[in-house]
């Protein structure tokens, strides 16, 4: 969806409908007199009587069809404080309604944001929301006449002659964040028969090739073998298509020698559980078990396109977890890249196996300023925090704070959970240096995080986001249709934009 800036007053705008969020009880033409000036028909329109601002209310008020724009959609915010998150939801709802009405465009009148606070921050969110409200995964469907079509463009309406640079940049930031999230969603929504580890790696290198200063190296199973990624290889052993490690590198001009921030993503293109096979119900959602890798990839792409200052590395640990005759057995012991032998008890805990080698590799190949991994790691995290919060673990309070702020800014909520050292004893193995799963199910998100932490040196700042509860939605919401959410793509981008100290 295109973004078009429209300056010079409402008589010059070309749009099907303007989206205006309203607080309950607000007299909008008084609180926002610019709206009165831009759409004088509102002052005499009978429909204005029904605009109450109640939460979830949508009222459309019409002017004469010959006017340059003649529809205004008022979206009720309710009585609660109009935060960026609530405004985001309101704009996304507005776009969904406009789509149902078969319109081609919506307008965000910038002057309608001023009364809620920082105009540029809110414009960024409005653009982000309009784009995500317009998202659906259509690649694998035939176009049917009856289906609502996506909007073609969103306009940003100004009354002044010129578009201020700060607002232009704000809109572009919102657009870029939305594109990152949509890319992560597209990848995660793609079924496992169309996105094997090698397909994902090929796609990553193809897309990265178009971005200056972003390099992409694909490491195949022979390279992984030679380098000692035995845990990663163990996961892919039961699949017909081999694992891959994708290494993305970007440095802004002048930052080539800086210590990099390293993002690591779990990229299981399908998680059947392996020999410890999963129950059938909901197994299809395990095509999203590569959301961590998709989010790392999408954020790397966009931070490079935006030329964010700093140096960044993205590692995508890709494999398919399947149960054929060559598959890893429960009870197998393999030597990790970090040096310790690992007993594999339950082959369904494959994410931590690909990640432990990637984490060790990050510290071997670079001197990371910090490492942030993202993984659909444990059902236990979803049980603990539900489907609205990711679990955040970190060995470093400062880094945890940065990730929490990035999550809050992105509207991707997380809650910090403890790396409770006492539980490390649960990872004791009878025959190897460490067991990859705990002796009991309780606290499973914590013991999984402790296993990962075992492979991170004490002096390396590391954070881990367990996104198992939030990578998939069963029902539509304004910002995301049912299916993959692309969770963490925007968080990582915001983390990079904010600078990681």
Q: Residue holding tokens 């020999």?
A: 275
Site for Zn ion contains 471 (CB under 5 A): no
Q: How far apart are CA 26 and CA 43, in angstroms?
A: 15
| DSSP string covering 170-197 | HHHHHHHHHHHHHHHHHHHHS-TTT--H
> Could you tell me if 239 and 322 are in contact, meaning their C-beta atoms sit under 8 angstroms apart?
yes
Question: What residues from 240 to 269 belong to the interface with Zn ion (CB under 5 A)?
Answer: 268
124 binding partner (options ligand BES, Zn ion, none; Cβ < 5 to 8 Å by kind): none
Q: Which of residues 113 and 382 has its CB atom nearest to ligand BES in the complex?
A: 382
Q: Which of residues 149 and 441 has its CB atom nearest to Zn ion in the complex?
A: 441
**Catalytic-role residue among 172, 278, 416, 424:** 278
- Report the 10 Å Cβ neighbour count for 170: 23
352 noted as active-site residue: yes
Interface residue list for ligand BES (CB under 6 A): 271, 289, 346, 348-351, 376-380, 382, 437, 444, 468
Q: Which of 461, 464, 454 is nearest to 425 (CA)?
A: 454
Site for Zn ion contains 348 (CB under 5 A): yes
Q: How far apart are CA 18 and CA 154, in angstroms?
A: 10
Q: How far apart are CA 464 and CA 99, in angstroms?
A: 38
97 noted as active-site residue: no
**Catalytic-role residue among 185, 241, 244, 352:** 352
Q: Which of residues 263 and 487 has its CB atom nearest to ligand BES in the complex?
A: 487
Q: Residue holding tokens 């779990």?
A: 266
Residue 78 C-beta: closest distance to ligand BES, Å: 32
Which DSSP state fits 328?
P
> Could you tell me if 301 and 250 are in contact, meaning their C-beta atoms sit under 8 angstroms apart?
no
Residue 336 C-beta: closest distance to ligand BES, Å: 17
Class of residue 501 by CB neighbours under 10 A (exposed 0-12, middle 13-18, buried 19+)? exposed
> Could you tell me if 429 and 435 are in contact, meaning their C-beta atoms sit under 8 angstroms apart?
yes
402 binding partner (options Zn ion, ligand BES, none; Cβ < 5 to 8 Å by kind): none
Site for Zn ion contains 179 (CB under 5 A): no
Residue 443 C-beta: closest distance to Zn ion, Å: 17
> At residue 216, what are phi and psi to the nearest 5 degrees?
-140, 120
Q: Which of residues 113 and 235 has its CB atom nearest to ligand BES in the complex?
A: 235
Q: Which of residues 234 and 468 has its CB atom nearest to ligand BES in the complex?
A: 468
> Could you tell me if 465 and 375 are in contact, meaning their C-beta atoms sit under 8 angstroms apart?
yes
Residue 224 C-beta: closest distance to ligand BES, Å: 19
Taking CB under 5 A as the criterion, the residue among 89, 107, 175, 271 binding Zn ion is 271
496 binding partner (options ligand BES, Zn ion, none; Cβ < 5 to 8 Å by kind): none
Taking CB under 5 A as the criterion, the residue among 289, 306, 320, 466 binding Zn ion is 289
Taking CB under 5 A as the criterion, the residue among 84, 228, 236, 351 binding Zn ion is 351
136 binding partner (options Zn ion, ligand BES, none; Cβ < 5 to 8 Å by kind): none
Class of residue 209 by CB neighbours under 10 A (exposed 0-12, middle 13-18, buried 19+)? exposed
Which DSSP state fits 439?
S
| Number of residues assigned to the chain | 501
Q: Which of residues 315 and 496 has its CB atom nearest to ligand BES in the complex?
A: 315
Binding residues for Zn ion, rule CB under 5 A, total 6
Q: Enumerate binding residues for Zn ion (CB under 5 A).
A: 268, 271, 289, 348, 350-351
Residues labelled as active-site residues? 278, 352
């Amino acid at each position: 969806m295109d973004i078009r800036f429209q300056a010079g007053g409402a008589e010059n705008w070309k749009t099907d409908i303007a989206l205006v969020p309203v607080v309950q009880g607000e007299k909008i033409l008084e609180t926002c007199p610019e709206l009165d000036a831009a759409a004088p028909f509102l002052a005499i329109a009978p429909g204005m009587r029904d605009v109450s601002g109640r939460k979830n209310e949508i009222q459309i008020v019409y002017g004469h069809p010959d006017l340059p724009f003649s529809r205004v959609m008022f979206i009720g915010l309710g009585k609660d404080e109009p935060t960026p998150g609530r405004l985001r939801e309101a704009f996304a709802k507005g776009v969904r309604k406009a789509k149902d009405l078969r319109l081609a465009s919506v307008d965000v009148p910038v002057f309608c944001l001023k009364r809620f606070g920082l105009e540029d921050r809110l414009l960024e969110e409005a653009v982000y929301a309009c784009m995500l409200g317009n998202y659906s995964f259509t690649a694998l469907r035939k176009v049917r006449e009856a289906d609502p079509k996506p909007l073609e463009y969103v306009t940003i309406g100004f009354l002044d002659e010129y578009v201020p640079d700060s607002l232009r940049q704000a809109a572009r930031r919102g657009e870029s964040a939305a594109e990152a999230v949509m890319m992560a969603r597209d990848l995660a929504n793609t079924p496992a028969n169309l996105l094997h580890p090698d397909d994902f790696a090929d796609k990553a290198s193809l897309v990265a090739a178009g971005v200056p200063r972003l390099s992409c190296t694909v490491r195949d199973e022979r390279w992984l073998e030679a380098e000692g990624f035995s845990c990663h290889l163990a996961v892919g052993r039961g699949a017909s298509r081999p694992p891959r490690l994708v290494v993305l590198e970007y440095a802004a001009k002048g930052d080539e020698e800086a210590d990099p921030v390293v993002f690591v993503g779990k990229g299981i293109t399908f998680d059947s559980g392996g020999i410890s096979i999963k129950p059938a119900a909901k197994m299809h959602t395990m095509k999203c078990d590569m959301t961590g890798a998709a989010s790392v990839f999408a954020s790397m792409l966009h931070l490079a396109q935006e030329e964010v200052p700093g140096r960044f590395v993205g590692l995508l640990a890709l494999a398919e977890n399947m149960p054929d005759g060559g598959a890893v057995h429960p009870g197998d012991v393999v030597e990790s890249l970090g040096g310790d032998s690992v007993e594999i008890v339950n082959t369904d805990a494959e994410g931590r196996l690909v990640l432990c080698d990637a984490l060790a590799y990050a510290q071997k190949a670079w001197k990371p300023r910090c490492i942030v991994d993202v993984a659909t790691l444990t059902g236990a995290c979803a049980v603990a925090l539900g489907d609205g919060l990711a679990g955040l673990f970190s060995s470093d309070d400062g880094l945890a704070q940065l990730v929490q702020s990035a999550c809050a800014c992105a509207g991707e909520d997380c809650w910090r959970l403890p790396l409770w050292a006492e539980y490390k004893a649960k990872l004791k193995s009878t025959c190897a240096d460490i067991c990859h799963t705990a002796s009991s199910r309780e606290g499973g998100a914590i013991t999984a995080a402790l296993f990962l932490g075992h492979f991170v040196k004490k002096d390396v700042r590391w954070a881990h986001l367990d996104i198992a509860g939030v990578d998939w939605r069963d029902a539509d919401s304004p910002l995301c249709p049912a299916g993959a959410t692309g969770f963490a793509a925007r968080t990582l981008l915001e983390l990079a934009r904010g600078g990681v100290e």
